[in-house]
Amino acid sequence: MGLPAVAVTVLLAVLAAGSNALASVLQRKGARSEPDDASMSLRMLWSLARKPSWVGGVTAILVGFALQVAALATGPLALVQPILVAELGFTLILSSLVLRAKLRLREWTAVSGMSAGLALLLVALSPSSGDSRDVPGEVWALGSAVTLAVIGALLALGYRNHYAHRAAYFGLASGTYFGFLAALIAGVTPAFAVGLGAVFTTWQTYAVMVAGPVGFFLLQNTLRAGSLVASQPGLTLANPLVGITWGVAVFGEHVRGGGWIAAQLFGAALLAACTMLLVRSPLLRGSEGAQEEADEAADDAAEAAAEAEPDGTERADRSQPSH
């Protein structure tokens, strides 16, 4: 890829990350007034559809999706998906504007560190384009089966937990799912060079038509599962990780080796460290996160008391003298 083509791909991917961040914040704002214990349903969708902030979030999703498709049509999956990590930084900045939260030095330091880590990672990877048209059907089937199995396991773990833990598992599942959706889109984009008619001759086109709405439904449940901070790191970081894996392992995209591996690891470690710094931020935990922790602690205490009560009753019964 020439420098102009890379610049176009990077710009489109950055705009997609910003649009996705705006979608997360606006949808979170629109869903805050809904009952916390309610699951996503058609009735709730109808209720949310009457809220301008939520509708704005859906619009931002569509814009971000279009920008991501354009980016994948001009560059490799292993280049586009890591740039989407910038979504987390955009989410923080937009949260401060939309949700009226004040960013402090800690948050700005973390965002700056994430930007530096991302830049280093992209330079160190320097991915080259592969060709999804050369991927055999059985490889597509195996990769899809493994990815969907991981998503299913994460969702199962999420349903077994509550509050921040559920949101974290759902965030990981959603991020993995959207990374897989990006791989499907990458399977469609080569057909654009042949013509619009060719797009409808690939099975990936119809898979995207099904997977897209499912991903939207999964995202809504993720946003409602808990605080934005609990779900957003997994949602943001799992996506590029899955994208890089698919790009290199399935599509045959090439990344730098040798001494560049150390730079790749350092860039990835800086990204991870700054993400953890954001997760522990008092600002991001906020009153909502504190309330979730209090509710979770109360539930754990109630469960412990319920488990102990039968034993205590049984011991009391045994202590009574027999007549």
pLDDT tens profile 139-153: 999 999 999 999 999
pLDDT tens for each residue of 264-273: 999 989 988 8
Question: What confidence category does residue 239 fall into, taking pLDDT thresholds of 50, 70 and 90?
Answer: confident
At residue 162, does pLDDT exceed 90?
Answer: no
Q: What are the tokens at 230?
A: 């609990």
Give the closest residue to 86 by CA, choosing from 24, 165, 167, 154.
Answer: 24
Over range 301-309, report the average pLDDT.
60
Give the closest residue to 156 by CA, choosing from 173, 179, 175, 133.
Answer: 173
Q: What are the tokens at 67?
A: 């920008």
Question: What confidence category does residue 40 fall into, taking pLDDT thresholds of 50, 70 and 90?
Answer: low
- pLDDT of 157: 93
Average pLDDT, the chain: 81
d(CA 85, CA 120): 13
CA atoms within 13 A on the CB side of 23: 22
Q: What is the dihedral of CA 140, 142, 143, 147, to 10 degrees?
A: 130
Phi/psi of residue 251, nearest 5 degrees: -90, -5
User: In DSSP terms, which residues pair with 128 in a beta bridge?
Assistant: 254
| Residue position matching structure tokens 């042949």 | 194
In the 8-state DSSP scheme, what is residue 1? -
Between 40 and 89, whose confidence is greater?
89
CB neighbour list of residue 199: distance below 8 Å, 6 or more residues apart: 188, 191, 192, 205
Question: What confidence category does residue 279 fall into, taking pLDDT thresholds of 50, 70 and 90?
Answer: low
Whether residue 233 contacts residue 182, with contact meaning beta carbons closer than 8 Å, is answered with: no
- pLDDT of 38: 54
- pLDDT of 98: 75
3-class SS at 272? helix
Whether residue 183 contacts residue 246, with contact meaning beta carbons closer than 8 Å, is answered with: yes
pTM, two decimals, is: 0.75
- pLDDT of 84: 87
The number of angstroms, rounded, from the C-alpha of 86 to the middle of its chain's C-alpha atoms is 12
Q: Give the type of residue at 114.
A: M
| Residue position matching structure tokens 């214990």 | 37
Whether residue 38 contacts residue 102, with contact meaning beta carbons closer than 8 Å, is answered with: no
Question: What confidence category does residue 297 fall into, taking pLDDT thresholds of 50, 70 and 90?
Answer: low
